[in-house]
Amino acid sequence: MFEAQEITAEHKDLIHDVAYDFYGQRMATCSSDQYVKVWDQNSDGKWSLTSSWKAHSGSVWKVTWAHPEFGQVLATCSFDRTAAVWEEIVGETPGPGERGTRHWVRRTNLVDSRTSVTDVKFGPRTQGLQLATCSAEGIIRIYEAPDVMNLSQWTLQYEVQCKLPCSCLSWNPSLSKMHPLMLAVGSDDPNPANGVKVFIYVYSESSRRWTKIDAITNITDPVYDISFSPNLGRSFHVLAVATKDVKIVNLTHVYDNPNLQNVITKLDAQTVAQFDDHDSTVWRVCWNVTGTILASSGDDGCVRMFKMNYINSWKPIAVLRGDGSQVPNEGHRSSVSSTLGSSVQTASQTARYIKLGAISQPRDVPWH
Protein backbone atom coordinates (compact mmCIF):
# COMPACT_ATOMS: atom_id res chain seq x y z
CA MET A 1 0.00 0.00 0.00
CA PHE A 2 1.15 3.47 -0.75
CA GLU A 3 0.82 6.56 1.31
CA ALA A 4 0.13 9.76 -0.53
CA GLN A 5 1.70 13.01 0.43
CA GLU A 6 0.34 16.06 -1.25
CA ILE A 7 2.90 18.56 -2.34
CA THR A 8 1.59 22.04 -2.85
CA ALA A 9 3.46 23.12 -5.91
CA GLU A 10 1.72 26.46 -6.30
CA HIS A 11 2.23 26.50 -10.00
CA LYS A 12 -0.29 28.84 -11.52
CA ASP A 13 -1.16 26.54 -14.37
CA LEU A 14 -0.88 22.90 -15.30
CA ILE A 15 2.20 21.01 -14.28
CA HIS A 16 3.49 19.28 -17.37
CA ASP A 17 6.41 17.34 -16.05
CA VAL A 18 8.02 16.21 -12.85
CA ALA A 19 11.44 14.64 -12.61
CA TYR A 20 13.49 13.14 -9.84
CA ASP A 21 17.20 13.60 -10.07
CA PHE A 22 19.65 10.71 -10.34
CA TYR A 23 19.67 10.08 -6.60
CA GLY A 24 15.97 10.65 -6.09
CA GLN A 25 16.62 13.37 -3.56
CA ARG A 26 15.70 16.37 -5.61
CA MET A 27 12.91 16.97 -8.00
CA ALA A 28 12.05 19.50 -10.61
CA THR A 29 8.63 20.53 -11.79
CA CYS A 30 7.67 22.60 -14.78
CA SER A 31 4.43 24.20 -15.71
CA SER A 32 2.56 26.22 -18.25
CA ASP A 33 3.05 29.20 -15.96
CA GLN A 34 6.55 29.31 -17.46
CA TYR A 35 8.19 28.54 -14.16
CA VAL A 36 10.51 25.74 -13.21
CA LYS A 37 10.75 24.77 -9.56
CA VAL A 38 13.34 22.68 -7.84
CA TRP A 39 12.63 20.86 -4.61
CA ASP A 40 14.83 19.16 -2.10
CA GLN A 41 13.84 16.38 0.21
CA ASN A 42 14.78 16.85 3.80
CA SER A 43 15.67 14.06 6.16
CA ASP A 44 12.10 13.26 7.16
CA GLY A 45 10.94 12.97 3.60
CA LYS A 46 9.27 16.34 3.20
CA TRP A 47 9.88 18.34 0.10
CA SER A 48 10.88 21.94 0.35
CA LEU A 49 11.03 24.39 -2.50
CA THR A 50 14.58 25.60 -3.00
CA SER A 51 14.39 27.41 -6.31
CA SER A 52 11.72 28.78 -8.55
CA TRP A 53 12.29 30.85 -11.60
CA LYS A 54 10.67 31.93 -14.83
CA ALA A 55 12.41 29.80 -17.35
CA HIS A 56 10.67 30.51 -20.62
CA SER A 57 8.19 32.80 -22.27
CA GLY A 58 5.82 29.94 -23.01
CA SER A 59 4.59 26.76 -21.39
CA VAL A 60 7.47 24.63 -20.18
CA TRP A 61 6.74 21.13 -21.42
CA LYS A 62 9.51 19.02 -20.01
CA VAL A 63 12.24 19.20 -17.45
CA THR A 64 15.06 16.72 -17.17
CA TRP A 65 18.18 16.30 -15.05
CA ALA A 66 21.65 15.69 -16.33
CA HIS A 67 23.77 13.07 -14.65
CA PRO A 68 25.17 14.59 -11.46
CA GLU A 69 28.74 14.11 -12.61
CA PHE A 70 28.13 17.13 -14.83
CA GLY A 71 26.93 19.21 -11.91
CA GLN A 72 23.45 20.20 -10.98
CA VAL A 73 22.16 20.69 -14.47
CA LEU A 74 18.63 20.81 -15.85
CA ALA A 75 17.30 21.08 -19.36
CA THR A 76 13.88 22.42 -20.19
CA CYS A 77 11.92 22.82 -23.39
CA SER A 78 9.04 25.08 -24.10
CA PHE A 79 6.23 26.22 -26.27
CA ASP A 80 8.35 29.32 -26.90
CA ARG A 81 10.40 27.23 -29.36
CA THR A 82 13.47 27.04 -27.27
CA ALA A 83 15.20 24.54 -25.09
CA ALA A 84 17.42 25.75 -22.30
CA VAL A 85 20.15 24.33 -20.12
CA TRP A 86 20.31 25.48 -16.52
CA GLU A 87 22.99 25.11 -13.94
CA GLU A 88 22.70 25.61 -10.25
CA ILE A 89 25.38 27.78 -8.76
CA VAL A 90 26.07 28.39 -5.15
CA GLY A 91 26.36 32.04 -4.34
CA GLU A 92 29.68 33.45 -3.26
CA THR A 93 28.34 35.35 -0.32
CA PRO A 94 26.09 33.35 1.90
CA GLY A 95 23.70 35.14 4.17
CA PRO A 96 23.97 34.80 7.91
CA GLY A 97 23.48 31.23 8.94
CA GLU A 98 23.11 30.13 5.35
CA ARG A 99 25.26 27.84 3.31
CA GLY A 100 25.22 30.15 0.40
CA THR A 101 22.33 31.12 -1.78
CA ARG A 102 21.66 28.81 -4.64
CA HIS A 103 20.21 29.85 -7.88
CA TRP A 104 19.90 28.56 -11.36
CA VAL A 105 21.43 30.34 -14.30
CA ARG A 106 20.61 29.80 -17.91
CA ARG A 107 23.72 28.43 -19.54
CA THR A 108 22.37 28.24 -23.04
CA ASN A 109 19.25 28.77 -25.03
CA LEU A 110 18.80 26.49 -28.02
CA VAL A 111 16.79 28.44 -30.53
CA ASP A 112 16.98 26.30 -33.64
CA SER A 113 13.42 25.11 -33.61
CA ARG A 114 10.76 27.03 -35.46
CA THR A 115 7.95 25.44 -33.50
CA SER A 116 7.25 24.32 -30.00
CA VAL A 117 9.99 22.10 -28.59
CA THR A 118 8.11 19.16 -27.21
CA ASP A 119 10.77 17.14 -25.47
CA VAL A 120 14.33 17.35 -24.31
CA LYS A 121 16.50 14.60 -22.89
CA PHE A 122 20.14 14.22 -21.92
CA GLY A 123 21.97 11.42 -23.64
CA PRO A 124 23.61 8.51 -21.84
CA ARG A 125 26.31 9.64 -19.47
CA THR A 126 28.99 7.67 -21.24
CA GLN A 127 28.53 9.90 -24.26
CA GLY A 128 29.45 13.03 -22.39
CA LEU A 129 26.95 15.82 -22.47
CA GLN A 130 24.54 15.26 -25.28
CA LEU A 131 21.09 16.66 -25.54
CA ALA A 132 18.32 15.62 -27.87
CA THR A 133 15.30 17.77 -28.57
CA CYS A 134 12.31 17.14 -30.72
CA SER A 135 9.78 19.59 -31.96
CA ALA A 136 6.29 19.89 -33.28
CA GLU A 137 7.68 20.50 -36.76
CA GLY A 138 9.12 16.98 -36.67
CA ILE A 139 12.82 17.64 -36.36
CA ILE A 140 15.04 15.85 -33.89
CA ARG A 141 18.10 17.81 -32.96
CA ILE A 142 21.10 16.48 -31.16
CA TYR A 143 23.37 18.91 -29.41
CA GLU A 144 26.63 18.33 -27.70
CA ALA A 145 28.66 20.31 -25.22
CA PRO A 146 32.20 19.55 -26.35
CA ASP A 147 33.58 20.77 -23.06
CA VAL A 148 31.58 19.37 -20.19
CA MET A 149 32.89 22.09 -17.95
CA ASN A 150 31.45 24.76 -20.20
CA LEU A 151 27.71 24.41 -20.38
CA SER A 152 27.23 27.58 -22.35
CA GLN A 153 28.62 26.13 -25.52
CA TRP A 154 26.50 23.63 -27.34
CA THR A 155 26.90 22.66 -30.92
CA LEU A 156 24.12 21.31 -33.04
CA GLN A 157 25.50 17.98 -34.17
CA TYR A 158 22.64 16.38 -36.00
CA GLU A 159 19.30 17.33 -37.38
CA VAL A 160 17.12 14.39 -38.16
CA GLN A 161 13.96 14.93 -40.09
CA CYS A 162 10.98 13.03 -38.91
CA LYS A 163 7.92 13.25 -41.10
CA LEU A 164 5.39 13.74 -38.35
CA PRO A 165 5.19 16.20 -35.48
CA CYS A 166 7.13 14.79 -32.56
CA SER A 167 5.74 14.70 -29.06
CA CYS A 168 8.26 12.75 -27.04
CA LEU A 169 11.65 11.13 -27.23
CA SER A 170 13.74 8.75 -25.22
CA TRP A 171 17.39 7.79 -25.31
CA ASN A 172 18.27 4.19 -24.89
CA PRO A 173 20.17 4.30 -21.61
CA SER A 174 21.90 0.95 -22.14
CA LEU A 175 25.35 0.79 -20.62
CA SER A 176 26.49 -1.97 -22.91
CA LYS A 177 29.08 -1.28 -25.54
CA MET A 178 27.29 -3.77 -27.72
CA HIS A 179 24.38 -1.42 -28.06
CA PRO A 180 24.69 1.55 -30.35
CA LEU A 181 23.27 4.92 -29.38
CA MET A 182 19.57 4.73 -29.90
CA LEU A 183 16.69 7.16 -29.81
CA ALA A 184 13.00 6.50 -29.85
CA VAL A 185 10.65 9.26 -30.91
CA GLY A 186 6.89 9.34 -30.70
CA SER A 187 4.42 11.44 -32.59
CA ASP A 188 1.04 12.61 -31.37
CA ASP A 189 -0.26 13.08 -34.87
CA PRO A 190 -3.91 12.10 -34.54
CA ASN A 191 -4.39 10.70 -38.02
CA PRO A 192 -3.94 6.93 -38.16
CA ALA A 193 -3.54 7.17 -41.91
CA ASN A 194 -0.19 8.84 -41.40
CA GLY A 195 1.23 5.54 -40.37
CA VAL A 196 3.50 4.50 -37.59
CA LYS A 197 3.92 6.91 -34.71
CA VAL A 198 7.03 5.47 -33.14
CA PHE A 199 10.41 5.90 -34.76
CA ILE A 200 13.67 4.34 -33.73
CA TYR A 201 16.90 6.01 -34.72
CA VAL A 202 20.27 4.38 -34.37
CA TYR A 203 23.61 6.09 -34.50
CA SER A 204 26.22 4.46 -36.60
CA GLU A 205 29.75 5.08 -35.40
CA SER A 206 31.24 4.31 -38.77
CA SER A 207 29.07 6.52 -40.92
CA ARG A 208 28.53 9.08 -38.13
CA ARG A 209 24.90 9.28 -38.94
CA TRP A 210 21.57 8.66 -37.35
CA THR A 211 19.53 6.26 -39.35
CA LYS A 212 15.93 5.34 -38.93
CA ILE A 213 15.20 1.71 -38.29
CA ASP A 214 11.77 0.46 -39.13
CA ALA A 215 11.12 -1.70 -36.18
CA ILE A 216 7.75 -0.88 -34.76
CA THR A 217 4.99 -1.09 -37.26
CA ASN A 218 1.84 -1.59 -35.26
CA ILE A 219 1.46 1.67 -33.36
CA THR A 220 -0.57 4.11 -35.41
CA ASP A 221 -2.43 5.86 -32.61
CA PRO A 222 -1.01 9.11 -31.35
CA VAL A 223 1.85 8.58 -28.94
CA TYR A 224 2.12 10.86 -25.94
CA ASP A 225 5.10 9.47 -24.16
CA ILE A 226 7.80 6.97 -24.80
CA SER A 227 10.44 5.59 -22.55
CA PHE A 228 13.26 3.11 -22.84
CA SER A 229 13.67 0.99 -19.79
CA PRO A 230 16.96 1.33 -17.94
CA ASN A 231 19.05 -1.47 -19.32
CA LEU A 232 21.43 -2.68 -16.70
CA GLY A 233 22.05 -6.10 -18.11
CA ARG A 234 19.58 -7.13 -20.73
CA SER A 235 20.70 -8.01 -24.18
CA PHE A 236 17.51 -6.58 -25.62
CA HIS A 237 15.76 -3.27 -25.08
CA VAL A 238 12.41 -2.64 -23.53
CA LEU A 239 10.40 0.32 -24.73
CA ALA A 240 7.24 1.58 -23.10
CA VAL A 241 4.83 3.56 -25.22
CA ALA A 242 1.94 5.67 -23.95
CA THR A 243 -0.77 5.90 -26.51
CA LYS A 244 -4.43 5.06 -26.09
CA ASP A 245 -3.11 2.21 -23.96
CA VAL A 246 0.19 1.21 -22.44
CA LYS A 247 2.40 -0.88 -24.65
CA ILE A 248 5.60 -2.60 -23.78
CA VAL A 249 7.78 -3.54 -26.70
CA ASN A 250 10.91 -5.66 -26.62
CA LEU A 251 13.49 -4.71 -29.19
CA THR A 252 16.02 -7.37 -30.03
CA HIS A 253 19.03 -6.89 -32.21
CA VAL A 254 19.14 -8.79 -35.41
CA TYR A 255 22.60 -9.08 -36.85
CA ASP A 256 22.60 -9.44 -40.57
CA ASN A 257 26.27 -9.89 -40.79
CA PRO A 258 27.87 -11.71 -37.89
CA ASN A 259 31.21 -10.13 -38.69
CA LEU A 260 29.91 -6.66 -38.17
CA GLN A 261 28.26 -7.02 -34.86
CA ASN A 262 28.24 -3.38 -34.07
CA VAL A 263 26.52 -2.38 -37.26
CA ILE A 264 22.92 -3.10 -36.69
CA THR A 265 20.43 -2.62 -39.36
CA LYS A 266 17.50 -4.41 -37.90
CA LEU A 267 15.64 -4.59 -34.69
CA ASP A 268 13.06 -7.18 -34.02
CA ALA A 269 10.15 -5.65 -32.19
CA GLN A 270 7.78 -7.69 -30.18
CA THR A 271 4.90 -6.23 -28.24
CA VAL A 272 5.07 -8.16 -25.01
CA ALA A 273 2.35 -6.38 -23.13
CA GLN A 274 -0.56 -4.10 -23.79
CA PHE A 275 -2.67 -2.68 -21.00
CA ASP A 276 -5.84 -0.73 -21.51
CA ASP A 277 -6.48 -0.47 -17.79
CA HIS A 278 -6.60 3.30 -17.98
CA ASP A 279 -9.44 3.07 -20.44
CA SER A 280 -8.49 6.55 -21.64
CA THR A 281 -5.57 8.44 -23.05
CA VAL A 282 -2.31 7.43 -21.43
CA TRP A 283 -0.12 10.45 -20.93
CA ARG A 284 2.95 9.15 -19.26
CA VAL A 285 5.09 6.09 -18.93
CA CYS A 286 8.01 5.96 -16.55
CA TRP A 287 10.38 3.25 -15.37
CA ASN A 288 11.91 2.65 -12.01
CA VAL A 289 15.68 2.72 -11.82
CA THR A 290 16.16 -0.97 -12.44
CA GLY A 291 13.66 -1.20 -15.26
CA THR A 292 11.53 -3.70 -13.42
CA ILE A 293 8.48 -1.59 -12.79
CA LEU A 294 6.65 0.56 -15.26
CA ALA A 295 4.36 3.31 -14.07
CA SER A 296 1.83 4.86 -16.38
CA SER A 297 -0.64 7.64 -15.88
CA GLY A 298 -3.73 8.41 -17.84
CA ASP A 299 -6.81 10.51 -18.05
CA ASP A 300 -8.48 8.30 -15.48
CA GLY A 301 -6.38 10.16 -12.94
CA CYS A 302 -4.51 7.08 -11.81
CA VAL A 303 -0.98 5.89 -11.82
CA ARG A 304 -0.88 2.22 -12.66
CA MET A 305 2.16 0.14 -12.04
CA PHE A 306 3.20 -2.94 -13.92
CA LYS A 307 5.87 -5.45 -13.20
CA MET A 308 7.36 -8.36 -15.04
CA ASN A 309 7.09 -11.61 -13.17
CA TYR A 310 9.40 -14.59 -13.23
CA ILE A 311 7.89 -16.05 -16.34
CA ASN A 312 8.58 -12.83 -18.20
CA SER A 313 5.04 -11.64 -18.45
CA TRP A 314 3.90 -8.23 -17.35
CA LYS A 315 1.23 -7.87 -14.71
CA PRO A 316 -0.43 -4.89 -13.07
CA ILE A 317 0.68 -4.62 -9.48
CA ALA A 318 -0.69 -1.38 -8.11
CA VAL A 319 -3.08 1.46 -8.78
CA LEU A 320 -2.51 4.86 -7.24
CA ARG A 321 -5.34 7.32 -7.41
CA GLY A 322 -4.20 10.85 -7.87
CA ASP A 323 -7.23 12.08 -5.98
CA GLY A 324 -7.68 8.86 -4.07
CA SER A 325 -8.79 10.76 -1.02
CA GLN A 326 -11.94 11.84 -2.74
CA VAL A 327 -13.24 8.48 -3.76
CA PRO A 328 -14.42 6.94 -0.49
CA ASN A 329 -16.35 9.92 0.81
CA GLU A 330 -17.53 11.67 -2.26
CA GLY A 331 -20.47 13.37 -0.60
CA HIS A 332 -18.37 14.89 2.07
CA ARG A 333 -15.85 16.20 -0.36
CA SER A 334 -18.37 17.81 -2.60
CA SER A 335 -20.07 19.59 0.26
CA VAL A 336 -16.74 20.97 1.30
CA SER A 337 -15.92 22.10 -2.17
CA SER A 338 -19.22 23.84 -2.65
CA THR A 339 -18.78 25.87 0.49
CA LEU A 340 -15.23 26.73 -0.32
CA GLY A 341 -16.08 27.53 -3.89
CA SER A 342 -13.00 25.79 -5.05
CA SER A 343 -12.10 22.31 -4.02
CA VAL A 344 -8.68 22.68 -5.39
CA GLN A 345 -6.92 25.52 -3.76
CA THR A 346 -7.03 25.06 -0.07
CA ALA A 347 -3.77 26.79 0.44
CA SER A 348 -3.52 26.07 4.12
CA GLN A 349 -2.77 22.44 3.49
CA THR A 350 0.86 22.07 2.74
CA ALA A 351 0.96 18.34 3.21
CA ARG A 352 -1.67 15.80 3.92
CA TYR A 353 -1.41 12.15 4.45
CA ILE A 354 -4.06 10.27 2.71
CA LYS A 355 -4.91 6.69 3.08
CA LEU A 356 -5.87 5.59 -0.35
CA GLY A 357 -9.09 3.92 -1.16
CA ALA A 358 -9.41 0.20 -1.50
CA ILE A 359 -8.36 -1.31 -4.74
CA SER A 360 -11.48 -1.98 -6.67
CA GLN A 361 -10.44 -4.11 -9.57
CA PRO A 362 -10.02 -7.76 -8.74
CA ARG A 363 -6.92 -8.10 -10.82
CA ASP A 364 -5.16 -5.28 -9.04
CA VAL A 365 -3.09 -7.18 -6.61
CA PRO A 366 -1.25 -5.16 -4.04
CA TRP A 367 2.44 -4.71 -4.42
CA HIS A 368 4.40 -7.57 -2.88
Partner 1 sequence: MATFHVVQEGPVNALALNRDNTQVAIGGRNVFKVYTIEEDKFREVCNLRASKHLNLSFSCNDVSWSWTDDHYLATAATNGHVCVWNLTKMGKAMQEQDYQEHKRTVNKVNFHASEPNRLISGSQDGTMRYFDIRAKNAVAIFYSNTESVRDVQFSPHNPYTFAAVSENGSVQLWDVRRPDRYQQQFAAHSGPIFACDWHPESTWLATASRDKTIKVWDLTSKLTLEYTIHTIASIGHIKWRPQRRYHIASCALVVDCSINIWDVRRPYIPFAAFNEHKDIPSGVAWKEDPHTFLSSGRDCTLYQHSFNFASRPASKANPQGVSLNNKGEVLYAHKVNVNNAIVKAAVGIIRKTSTTQSPDQFHLASSLMHQFTESPRGEQSESEIFLGLANNYVLSGRSLSEMCEHNSAVAKQYGKDQVAVVWKIIKTMYGEEYLQNSTSTNREDVVSHNNLPLNNIMGGIEHTNENDQRSRGGDTPVAQFSDETENEDQVDHIAIYSNGFPTYLNFRTGLPKGDFSFGENEIDMEFDTMITDFQSGYRNYVTPQQDFVLPNEAFHLRHEIRNRTPPPDKFPNSNFPVMNDDSQTIPLEEQPQTLLTVSCLPKMPLYDSSSIVLDALKHHAILGDVQTAACVLIVLGDQRKTLNELDESTQEHWLLGYIELLSRYQLWNIATQIIKLSWIPSVEQLNQQSTRFNTNCSKCSKALQRIGWLCDRCHSSQYALCSVCHQVVKGLYAWCQGCSHGGHLAHMRQWFAINKMCPTGCRHLCEYK
Interface with partner 1 includes 164 (CB under 8 A)?
A: no
**Can you spell out the DSSP letters for 189-255?**
---GGG---EEEEEEETTTTEEEEE----S--S---EEEEPP-SS-SSEEEEEESSSEEEEEEEEE-
Which residues are within 8 A (CB) of 67 and not within 5 positions of it... i.e. 6 or more apart? 22, 122, 125
Interface with partner 1 includes 347 (CB under 8 A)?
A: no
Interface with partner 1 includes 291 (CB under 8 A)?
A: yes
CB atoms within 10 A of CB 313: 9
Interface with partner 1 includes 155 (CB under 8 A)?
A: no
The smaller minimum CB distance to partner 1, of residues 32 and 157, is found at 32
- Dist. CA 58–CA 56, nearest whole Å: 5
Which residues are within 8 A (CB) of 55 and not within 5 positions of it... i.e. 6 or more apart? 30, 34, 35, 36, 76, 78, 84, 86, 106
* AA identity, residue 199: F
The smaller minimum CB distance to partner 1, of residues 83 and 305, is found at 305
**Least Å distance between CB 205 and partner 1?**
15
Residue choice 72, 133, 187, 296 for contact with partner 1 (CB under 8 A): 296
Are 245 and 276 in contact by the 8 Å Cβ rule? The answer is: yes
Question: Residues 228 to 287: which contact partner 1 by CB under 8 A?
Answer: 231-235, 280-281, 283-287
Interface with partner 1 includes 306 (CB under 8 A)?
A: no
**Least Å distance between CB 14 and partner 1?**
5
Longest dimension (CA), the chain: 73
**Least Å distance between CB 61 and partner 1?**
7
Per-residue binding string, partner 1, 55-94, x by CB under 8 A, is --xxx-x-----------------xxx--------x--xx
Which residues are within 8 A (CB) of 41 and not within 5 positions of it... i.e. 6 or more apart? 25, 26, 27, 47, 48
Interface with partner 1 includes 361 (CB under 8 A)?
A: no
**Least Å distance between CB 214 and partner 1?**
25
Interface with partner 1 includes 297 (CB under 8 A)?
A: yes
Q: Which stretch binds partner 1 (CB under 8 A): 150-158, 194-202, 266-274, 304-312?
A: 304-312
Residue choice 19, 49, 272, 327 for contact with partner 1 (CB under 8 A): 19
The smaller minimum CB distance to partner 1, of residues 108 and 231, is found at 231
Number of residues that bind partner 1 (CB under 8 A): 95
